[in-house]
Chains A and B, each alone.
Chain A
Amino acid sequence: GQQLNQSPQSMFIQEGEDVSMNCTSSSIFNTWLWYKQDPGEGPVLLIALYKAGELTSNGRLTAQFGITRKDSFLNISASIPSDVGIYFCAVNQGGSEKLVFGKGTKLTVNP
């Protein structure tokens, strides 16, 4: 099946620092999604990207849909302790509602 490569696998940062993570694929996709999962909870959608080159912000979060349609990145500015969690990229496979997820980037923020 389709594999999404997320990096880094984990990050340890200080509160107030900016964070960047990315997701790549060998295939082209028309939708890229970023989810966050808190411990003991299900993933929550942060940002959805539908157009190549699109740059979308949601508060301190900014995500971009790569021009090649094979990658996406997520930036978090001025991190705070509640940013702790696992961030997943996901794509729609086959033009359906079926989502394929990456393995996630685990973020730890030290106060």
Chain B
Amino acid sequence: NAGVTQTPKFQVLKTGQSMTLQCAQDMNHEYMSWYRQDPGMGLRLIHYSVGAGITDQGEVPNGYNVSRSTTEDFPLRLLSAAPSQTSVYFCASSWVQGAYEQYFGPGTRLTVT
């Protein structure tokens, strides 16, 4: 199993550009989530999904969109990048929401200039 994979590893955007961060898992996990990690702030939940076709907002959803058309994939879209979205983004998954340990991807380091 590859586990949780994320692409790209690094990305530089200009303010106003849009892009999609990819996340995929091959463990047949129902629950997937996106976090951002900022210095001094810890990890914060952006969006999560409890299964294909179902998504919900986390603590910091503004400026981000998600969809879940398959069990395996959970892309995160930045609609119009802002410097405040400069961060490291992590995708995570687990069997179902709540009861099981969560597995994290290697992260995407995004810089918005």
Whether chains A and B associate is no
- Seen from chain B, the residues whose Cβ lies within 8 Å of a Cβ on chain A are none
